[in-house]
A and B are shown apart, each in its own frame.
Chain A
């Protein structure tokens, strides 16, 4: 009895002395087949992570002090998978009340309690692009998050230092929500283009007024600063090149249209999402330097998505477009390694090209390639361990590590990993787990009212 009490007390002291941020860890993964993405494959190699950063890849490395040791004999180690288009871990996806909402940020509505985070970890995913939805032509700013499941603090999921990104959307979604649903503009694809042009022009005026104030305030103490406007601030930051556009798109004509708009306003950082007709304009995308994040083989769910092909990723890749495969779903996010594998059946991409689609390439699209996306010294300790080659249909993720901390371990995989339980209602989580986490979440009323 007495002994128990002391043990308990000890546990309590340890728990209390832990820092509020359980962020970085050290781990030594031994004797695995290591797929580095940037430096080939190493057999029977170790990966060492110290305080969240990769400090060694090679043979017979020494274990850092206090590091967890994982025997990965016969297993495959790859960089943690990155999903460039996801809506998990968000309490809100669409602020669908206005066709331009550049000022809102999904970073303000991160839901660390979403069990979807754990499910994604179970698919080897370590980082996602938590995007605003596609209801608005210019949607909200997005947040790149790391799947540090277990924290209750929304801010702890944010990938510190990741560049700012923003969601744009072309075509039917914004037209239906605002043109048909709210009976306002834009009702046509032409109208959507004008939304961009008007917004960027207003932002230019806003910047000019600010510059004017900055210039005159020294000589004229009575000058009044233009009124602070968060929407204009965000749009101006796009024009300044501080925010990467990630644009929901399907049709080739619209894809060209947005590139033209961006050229006119000097915007260079542009990534297309879905981009099902990207194969038609791949050389143009490559020339502009625009990137593409696509589905492996998902289409025909609405009219503008009929003209599609499973060869899309391969065609884009072969044309020199930095391409990734994304999920846009709380379900597909667990099978991104399968999705990547499809590009070998449809397009004969090499193993490394296929795996780049879910690692280094999405990292480049999010501007975080210096931190994640490959196994290299100095990069973050974000790692997925598989029992077989990740492109094998028999591959099952065994362990997922974020910043050197094991966040998923198949051997300690409880049936119920929820962080938050409704005390009053049974949670039918198995039945409707993919119901949220979609692009058009929260806009049903606008869409189906008419």
Chain B
């Protein structure tokens, strides 16, 4: 009898396991069939407001405020549009590319995905051209330069909806500058050297004058900070890589010399921007080029803000690095079935709703970031006049070449070679030449 019961239990367990598997399968089958079935909706004739639609939104976490605020926005949208449900998934920056890659690889891409580069998804044709999914009114509201910067280097089309931006600036610790007796942030490389020397000597090396992040977090910005400021850069106007140009070499050599003088943080290859922001806040580091949301993270730290210093022997003004994030809208080929017209309409509607200044600008203020729409910027100027000063800087900002499909590969090579340079096993010239060799010809 006991045996019989045990047998039955085992059988039940196995059946349950099978049932579990098959139930799940059925579920997903249903889902894809619904979107793939041509009879489900008559194209063009369907009453798009009546069909129940689900939008999956995979977003990045900019700060602790991101998720609660976006949930509020989504709730407001769902209240206005009872037939549309928005599934919001907020993931930290460290994991979001992994999460997206897993979803895309499984054919279950989110509808909206917040990232900093669309280039890797363009060759497979997985993204909507933004003019096919964004309403003309919203499209016209974006700063034209933002859309220009998003254009894919391969076909000149834009596959990312401008989401937000940040600019980089030089932040100087007010307390340190006061103690040493320096009045204003340095503008040129010569002034930087002078300020570094004074700070170094004043504190006998206990305070690091200049911060360098050559880690995997920010190593790609070295060319922007030390190449652009010397007349060099990543690519020329025709998107040909120019990593080993003399201006870049001189720029990296200059940064390396600061490090060798003991004027920088001791471990540029492993100390990240975040580590150094903390050092600035603790009065251990005097100057750091970092993103414009830094002051919002450490509101109690007195900071002087300047432009990224440049070499006045070679260039006449500073170049600001702008960083832009986008929303990629995945099309049907990444989701196992074409979107129904109702679904497309719902996505368009959601974007319109999201970018209303009422919600969008508040989101930007929460995060200390800059809006990509003109209406958003206008409202920001009314609410936070200080912050809107950055918008003018943004107008003249330059962007990295991350609309090239090989961008990530080249940057990985560049970062590794730069680290070898800081370690002393490569010169600046060797590091840049090796990186240039990792680039494909255009």
| B and A form one assembly | no
Interface residues of A (CB under 8 A from B): none
Interface residues of B (CB under 8 A from A): none
